[in-house]
Amino acid sequence: MNYPSLREFIDRLEREGELLRIKESVSPILEITEITDRVSKQPGGGKALLFENVEGSSMPVLINAFGSTKRMNMALGVHNIEDIPKRIERYIKIPPPATLLDKAKLLPMLLQAAQFPPKLVKTAHPPCQEVVHLDNDIDLGAIPILQCWPEDAGRFITFPIVINRSADKKIRNVGLYRMQVYDRKTTAMHWHIHKDGAHFFHEFKKQNKMMEVAIALGADPASCYSASAPLPYGIDEFLLAGFIRKQSVPLVKCKTVDLEVPANAEIVLEGYIDPSELRLEGPFGDHTGYYSQDGDYPVVHLTAITHRKDPVYLTTIVGKPPQEDFYLGRATERIFLPLLKTQLPEIVDMDMPVEGVFHNCVIVSIDKRYPMQSRRVMSALWGLGQMSFVKTIVTVDAEVNVHDYEAIAKRLLSTVDFETDLFFSEGILDVLNHASDQMLYGSKLGIDLTAKIEGEPGYGKADPPHAHPTTFPTQEEVIEAFPEVKAIAEVQNSILLVALDKTEPNQGEQFIDSFFDHPNFSTIEIVIVLEGHVDLTNISIVMWKFFNNLEPKRDFHFEDERLGIDVTQKFPEEGYQQNWPEEIEMTSEIKNKVDIKWDNLFKG
> What are the residue boundaries of the structural domains of the chain, listed by start?
6-95+126-314, 344-448, 475-570
pLDDT in tens, 453-481: 998 988 888 776 665 656 778 899 999 99
d(CA 224, CA 331): 12
Q: Is 286 a catalytic residue?
A: yes
Q: How many of the other CB atoms lie within 10 Å of CB of 194?
A: 15
The answer to whether the 344-448 and 475-570 domains have the same CATH topology is yes
SS3 label, residue 591: helix
356: left (phi over 0), alpha (psi -120 to 50) or beta: alpha
pLDDT-derived band at 89 (thresholds 50, 70, 90) equals confident
Q: Averaging pLDDT over each range in 92-106, 188-202, 285-299, 463-477, which range is the top one?
A: 285-299
d(CA 412, CA 524): 16
Residue 595: predicted pLDDT: 97
Residue 228: predicted pLDDT: 93
Question: How much of the chain is in helix, strand and coil states, percent to nearest 5?
Answer: 30, 25, 45
Give the rounded percent of residues in the chain with a pLDDT score beyond 90.
79
- The reported pTM is 0.92
Residue 284 phi, psi dihedral angles, 5° rounding: -150, 135
Residue 483 phi, psi dihedral angles, 5° rounding: -60, -20
d(CA 594, CA 51): 14
**Is the pLDDT score of 492 beyond 80?**
no
Q: How far does CA 426 lie from the centroid of its chain?
A: 22
**Is the pLDDT score of 113 beyond 80?**
no
Give strand ranges (E) for 335-473. Answer: 347-351, 361-366, 392-397, 422-428, 441-448
**Is the pLDDT score of 437 beyond 60?**
yes
pLDDT (average), residues 39-65: 97
**Is the pLDDT score of 109 beyond 60?**
no
Residue 114: predicted pLDDT: 57
d(CA 219, CA 185): 22
Return the ∠ at Cα 569 (arms to 475 and 482), rounded to 5°: 25
Residue 451 phi, psi dihedral angles, 5° rounding: -70, 135
Q: Which of 200, 248, 259 is nearest to 226 (CA)?
A: 248
Contact 40, 46 (CB under 8 A): yes
Alpha helical stretches, state H, 184-313: 196-207, 221-226, 237-245
Residue 397: predicted pLDDT: 96
Contact 347, 178 (CB under 8 A): no
**CA distances to 109, 201, 209, 244, 347 from 240, in Å:** 16, 23, 29, 6, 23
**Is the pLDDT score of 100 beyond 60?**
yes
Residue 94: predicted pLDDT: 61
**Is the pLDDT score of 557 beyond 90?**
yes
Catalytic residue among 152, 286, 421, 430: 286
Kindly report the average pLDDT of the chain as a whole number: 92
Contact 66, 328 (CB under 8 A): yes
pLDDT in tens, 494-543: 789 999 999 999 999 999 999 999 998 988 889 999 999 999 999 999 99
DSSP string, 185-199: SEEE----TTSHHHH
* Domain 475-570 coded CATH 3.40.190.10: no
Residue 523: predicted pLDDT: 84
118: left (phi over 0), alpha (psi -120 to 50) or beta: beta
Go through the chain and tell me how many residues it has.
Answer: 604
d(CA 4, CA 250): 9
Q: Which residues of 35-45 are buried (b: 16+ CB within 10 A; e: fewer)?
A: bbbbbbeeeeb
Residue 267: predicted pLDDT: 98
Residue 415 phi, psi dihedral angles, 5° rounding: -120, -20
pLDDT (average), residues 276-280: 96
CATH topology for 344-448?
UbiD C-terminal domain-like (3.40.1670)
**Is the pLDDT score of 370 beyond 90?**
yes
**Is the pLDDT score of 282 beyond 60?**
yes
d(CA 528, CA 563): 8
DSSP string, 479-509: HHH-TTEEEEEEETTTEEEEEE---STTHHH
Residue 197: predicted pLDDT: 83
**CA distances to 38, 270, 316, 425, 513 from 326, in Å:** 15, 29, 12, 27, 37
Q: Which residues pair with 336 in a beta bridge?
A: none
Residues with Cβ within 8 Å of residue 599, at least 6 apart in sequence: none
Residue 307: predicted pLDDT: 98
Contact 50, 36 (CB under 8 A): no
pLDDT (average), residues 402-424: 90
Helix (H) or strand (E) holding 279, with range, is: strand 267-281
Give the rounded percent of residues in the chain with a pLDDT score beyond 70.
94
pLDDT-derived band at 117 (thresholds 50, 70, 90) equals confident
Pick one of 3.40.50.1820, 3.20.20.70, 1.10.10.10, 2.30.110.10 as the CATH number of 6-95+126-314: 2.30.110.10
Which amino acid belongs to residue 331? A
**Is the pLDDT score of 148 beyond 90?**
yes
Residue 231: predicted pLDDT: 85
Q: Which of 350, 382, 387 is nearest to 365 (CA)?
A: 350
Q: How far does CA 178 lie from the centroid of its chain?
A: 13
**Is the pLDDT score of 233 beyond 60?**
yes
